[in-house]
A and B are shown apart, each in its own frame.
Chain A
């Protein structure tokens, strides 16, 4: 079933891709092939290749249970929130919180996760910013 969905997704993507590619504006000067042709070829290849898993799917991969999928969604959510928090709260605070949350979800006890978060954040800050001079996100407090 998963493979059939993959096949359908590929076909849909290929269709969309070709549709968008044909709408590329061509300037008044162009080489014989122009900017459209190669994207269309790629779209066609994607569509043709997508037919195979649709018609002849591989055995089902063992998807994780629903709880685990939620974990992954949660982790992705933490990362998205983290990218926005960087600007607002600065590197050290947001990294400590994000790392602690991830570590907590990977089975660390809350206290150990909090300590790990702070250690990872301060450690990265010390090595990459203080020693190597990399510029990291500055928050309202300058770190």
Chain B
């Protein structure tokens, strides 16, 4: 029962006036960010990290603010999916399939209310899952030595491309680029400068915040410039009443339950973020329940399942991120960046040494969830109005806020230039279908990964066999190999199911 005691303590931490205000602010901001096309959980949070950092918020409040934004963005993504058939972010992709037809049938209000409720159910139960599962994983993680950690990092990279990855070699290229960037700077163990070319600014290495904001936010601006004038979305359909009838909720309760479980499992597994959660939830629901061919034509169950799945996966993805310090998806990679910027190292020690941070954060997730439900159902009309802000004014503002954030962190022209370079790099990588998430993860984890490798070899005095010297390490390596090969086999099957129209939309959607 110590879980409940810890959780209660967490609520004591989170329930201060300041933290509640921050959670509210984060939820509102997050919903707006999620609703805006082109901005989603990962680039939205990415832009806000440097700002939260420079405002000098202490760790727990900053964490509460940013995770509220993360959850809020997960909620918000569905608004433009339902109303405009444009997913606000990639996990909301599946919601367009039945949400938009519902809106066209004059059920826009019902679809929004139902998806809001499904999001709440998914996120709420996933947070409970996090409460119980994360401490168990921590117990396992305490058995990890440097060799096991090195294997774990490799596992994270091997599976990051995800089950739907089209080209594993491009995932490897991305990971190598990220790791290579992380090596720049003074070596922590011997103090020699590496790959700095005598440039003093590089001695500290490249700040991961600069890389993330450049890759996620600035590249988005370039993408908008390329597509400008195309696909200017029409007017949102009339909302009608924004409640879901009780019968509809009862009809979809089974879909929500299945979506939640599937989404949570997909979120916990390495290499699968919220996109996979919503995808699996929708596909399974369709296989099970689509007896009259109503899916894709505005079936409420086709809205409830993926929304529950995507929000449950968002909660599930926090399990490995908090317990092991290894994120499984783009957005959790960004959250890891946030923790690192606040000088918090996630992993088993975090639970032992800083329970305030962990349990305060988890309590904040519960609070944020209730707030989001309360915010979303009655106030969705306001968020819909935000959607009407044309990107020609929105994108310059996004770019300028990114500059403000990075300028605030370092105040150096050099970092701003590096950010622009990362923006261009991100644009080119996105065009070439090279995933950006492994790049980010490489930049974030590179030094940690190397440290563990070198520590392991110091213990064994240079004998490489220590890397597979325990059953735990062998298990991790086996999982990494399976995870890397599986998409080559399974991916074929998944890609057939994923309609080409969706692939088209996925390019401009925010990567998860």
| Interface residue ranges, A against B (CB under 8 Å) | 2-3, 6, 10, 14, 17, 20-21, 24-27, 29-35, 38-39, 42-43, 45-46, 48-53, 58, 61, 63-64, 68, 71-72, 75-76, 79-80, 82-84, 86-87, 95, 98-100, 102-103, 105-108, 113, 116-117, 120-121, 123-124, 128, 132-137
Contact = CB atoms under 8 A, between A and B. Distances in A.
B458 A32 contact: yes
B407 A137 contact: yes
A102 B225 CA distance: 9
B221 interface: yes
B462 A42 contact: no
B51 A46 contact: no
Contacts of A99: 396-397, 399-400
23 contacts: A25-B192, A26-B190, A29-B190, A30-B189, A32-B461, A42-B179, A42-B180, A45-B176, A46-B173, A49-B170, A49-B173, A53-B170, A63-B431, A71-B226, A72-B226, A79-B423, A86-B413, A95-B400, A102-B395, A103-B392, A106-B224, A123-B397, A124-B404
A103 B393 contact: yes
Contact of B173 (A50, A87, A105): A50
A25 to B, nearest CB: 5
B228 A6 contact: no
B420 interface: yes
Contacts of A120: 393, 396-397, 400
Q: Could you say which interface size class chain B belongs to?
A: 35 or more
Contacts of B189: 30-31, 35
Contacts of B454: 31-33, 38
Nearest to A78: B399
Nearest to A80: B420
B400 A134 contact: no
A10 B166 CA distance: 19
Interface string B144-188: 000000000000000000000011011011011101100100010
Interface in B85-102: none
Contacts of A2: 431-432
Contacts of B11: none
Interface string B446-459: 00011001100110
Interface string B426-461: 010001111000000000000001100110011001
A79 B413 CA distance: 11
Among A33, A52, A86, the most chain B Cβ lie within 10 Å of the Cβ of A33
Nearest to B463: A32
A1 to B, nearest CB: 11
A26 B192 contact: yes
A64 B356 CA distance: 50
Given A6-B432, A31-B454, A71-B226, A39 B396 contact: no
B424 interface: yes
A134 B311 CA distance: 33
B190 A38 contact: no
Nearest to B218: A79
B57 to A, nearest CB: 10
A79 B55 contact: no
A58 B170 CA distance: 10
B191 interface: yes
- 6 A-B pairs closest in CB distance: A52-B169, A49-B172, A32-B462, A46-B176, A106-B392, A102-B396
Given A82-B403, A98-B396, A128-B404, 15 more contacts: A20-B195, A24-B195, A31-B454, A33-B453, A42-B180, A46-B173, A48-B172, A52-B169, A68-B225, A72-B226, A83-B416, A84-B413, A95-B400, A99-B397, A132-B55
A31 B413 contact: no
Contacts of B190: 26-27, 29-31, 34-35
Nearest to B174: A49
A75 B173 contact: no
Given A50-B173, A61-B431, A99-B397, A35 B194 contact: yes
A53 B169 contact: yes
A53 B183 CA distance: 25
Interface string B374-386: 0000000000000
Contacts of B54: 134-135
Contacts of A43: 176, 180
A42 B54 CA distance: 33
Contacts of A100: 396
A48, A49, A135: most-surrounded residue (chain B CB, <10 A) = A49
Contacts of A46: 172-173, 176-177, 180
Contacts of B140: none
A121 to B, nearest CB: 7
Interface in B275-329: none
A21 B195 contact: yes
B396 A38 contact: no
Contacts of A33: 453-454, 457-458, 462
Given A24-B194, A102-B399, A103-B396, A39 B413 contact: no
Given A39-B180, A79-B399, A27 B192 contact: yes
B222 interface: yes
Nearest to B428: A6
Interface in B186-242: 187, 189-192, 194-195, 218, 221-222, 224-226, 228-229
B408 interface: yes
